Amino acid sequence: MPTPAEALHLILAAMPPLPPVSAPLADSLGLALAADVYSAATVPPFTNSAMDGYAVQAADLDAASAERPVRLRVLGDLAAGGVSYHVLHPGSALRIMTGAALPEGADAVVPVEDTTRGEDADGDWVELGRPIRRGIHIRLAGEDLQQGQLLVKAGQGLRPGDLGVLAAAGIPAVSVYPRARVAVLTTGDELVDVSEEPGPGRIRDANIHAVCAQVRACGAIPVPYARVPDDREALMHTLKLALEADVVLTTGGISVGDYDHMKAMLEELGARRAFWKVAQKPGGPLGFWRLGTKPIFGIPGNPVAAMLMVEEYVRPALRKRMGFAKLHRPVVEARLEDGWSGRVGDGRTTFLRVVAVKEGGGYCARLTGPQGSAILSSMLSANALAVIPAGVDQVAPGGPVLLRLTEEAEDH
């Protein structure tokens, strides 16, 4: 029986990225780049005004003051997107809008609110009452991006800011890894839809909703199938349909009961088993197979165990399948406020649902409540998992633990 680390290593080794595709920027948010992206342009492409105001030669204003303002002749107005053919000489200015190209001869821009404009027999003028620094309120050509500059590295998920930069750099489409399509099957005669009132011996199917949400949260596309009863023929039919997806994920039906058919059927189809069962709790009966290059996960039916297995194994596997360089959650050290006691001599790694908060320069955590693998309410407030190594049967109150942060921990 592999340890959690060994099981994850076997899974990730069998998860090559999907073939890259070219996608327009509008369809690329959240996808991982398949290749480094370099700027195709210099940004800004020309030196321009950062303010609405007047383009001037700063030397003209060296002696300006409120008592003795300097008066400059206005050559004209220039809107953003326009081109000026004026050349500024000493004693002249050009009214300019934000983003407009700086005219030849200008080396500064005075904000319009710092000026007074008027007109006389010789034409328009503007008065300025204080000196300014050469280069002020000007955006230099190339000060943001240089052509050929590395913008985003391969394996990074594209964020809104990245897409804005790529657009400014003249890159309309990028090579990305597509979202993995994940077939999600839930099995069991005892399951009914959330909208139904369970009869005797029946329960509502929480797994299909929780697991599909987890798949979607990590950027993949869940493809849920109708609940499959514990019937071999029905299960085989649904399983064959599910194999059209990039990854198959089944919940339930992989243990050792008389109605647990999944393991035998997968191997009947030719799937090769990497392992079945992991030395951890909750969630020991995890199976992983490959049918050709198709990865297949068999996760337990207990709701908490199912969610934990998706978090610990399926999520990093899907991220690798979708080309992300960063596969894992942040890991931090913390104090477990309420402590924990387990079974003496247990050789399994234990995962505890906890609430983590930032406290000073570190983290503290407390259990969400009872930790049974069927207590789904323990997930309501959990934002981290405390990982208790195999062989450790007790953590004293306030003792150290390692946390995997599944959500952002709030300040205490």
Specify the pairing of strand 150-152 against strand 53-56. unpaired
Q: Cα-flanking dihedrals φ and ψ of residue 107, to 5°?
A: -135, 10
Residue 75 pLDDT grade (very low, low, confident, very high; cuts 50, 70, 90): very high
More confident residue, 84 or 26: 26
At the fourth CATH level, which superfamily is domain 48-139?
Molybdopterin biosynthesis moea protein, domain 3. (2.170.190.11)
Show Cβ contacts of residue 79 under 8 Å, excluding neighbours closer than 6 positions.
97, 100
Using pLDDT thresholds of 50, 70 and 90, give the confidence band for residue 253: low
d(CA 33, CA 163): 12
Q: Could you tell me the two tokens for 405?
A: 């942060």
Lookup: tokens for 407: 């959500």
Residues of the chain with CATH 2.170.190.11: 48-139
Q: Express as a percent the part of the chain with pLDDT over 90.
A: 70
| C-beta separation of 84 from 74 below 8 A | no
What amino acid occupies position 182?
Answer: V
List CB contacts of 377: < 8 A, sequence separation 6 or more. Answer: 369
The ranges of the chain annotated as CATH 3.90.105.10 are 21-43+144-176
Both tokens of residue 36? 């480094």
Task: For residue 172, give the nearest of 43, 45, 44, 37 by alpha carbon.
Answer: 37
Q: What are 251's two structure tokens?
A: 């919940």
Number of residues in the chain:
412
CA distances to 10, 137, 293, 389 from 13, rounded to whole Å, are 5, 54, 11, 23
- For the chain, give the mean pLDDT: 91
Q: Beta strands of 25-91 (E only): which ranges?
A: 37-38, 48-49, 53-56, 70-78
Gap between the Cα atoms of 391 and 280, Å rounded? 11
pLDDT at residue number 259: 41
The Cα 312–Cα 68 span in angstroms is 73
Average pLDDT over residues 41-46: 96
Complete DSSP assignment for 343-360: -TT--SEEEEEEEEEEET
pLDDT of residue 135: 96
Give the model confidence (pLDDT) of 47-58 as tens digits: 999 999 999 999
Which has the closest alpha carbon to 78: 98, 61, 62, 50? 98
- C-beta of residue 304 within 8 angstroms of C-beta of residue 374: yes
Cα gap 207→187, rounded to integer Å:
10
List where CATH 2.40.340.10 sits in the chain: 331-411
| Region(s) of the chain under CATH 3.40.980.10 | 4-17+178-321
CATH architecture of 21-43+144-176: Alpha-Beta Complex (3.90)
User: Which residues on neighbouring strands pair with residue 40, listed in sequence order?
Assistant: none
Domain spanning 4-17+178-321, CATH class = alpha beta
In CATH, 331-411 is 2.40.340.10? yes
Q: What is the pLDDT of residues 96-152, one digit of tens each?
A: 999 999 999 999 999 999 999 999 888 899 999 999 999 999 999 999 999 999 999
- Confidence (pTM): 0.86
Q: Which residues, 6+ apart, have CB-to-CB distance to 27 below 8 Å?
A: none
Distance in angstroms (rounded) separating the CA atoms of residues 376 and 215 = 18
The beta-strand segments (E) located in 63-180 are: 70-78, 92-96, 108-111, 115-120, 123-128, 138-139, 150-152, 173-176
109-113, 127-131, 198-202, 361-365: least confident range? 198-202
Provide the residue type at 35 as one letter.
A
The two structure tokens encoding residue 110: 């005075």
Residue 278 buriedness (CB in 10 A; 0-12 / 13-18 / 19+): buried
In 146-293, at which residue ranges do the beta strands (DSSP E only) sit? 150-152, 173-176, 181-186, 191-192, 203-204, 221-224, 247-251, 272-276, 280-281, 287-291
pLDDT tens digits, residue range 285-337? 899 999 988 999 999 888 888 999 999 999 999 999 999 999 999 999 999 99
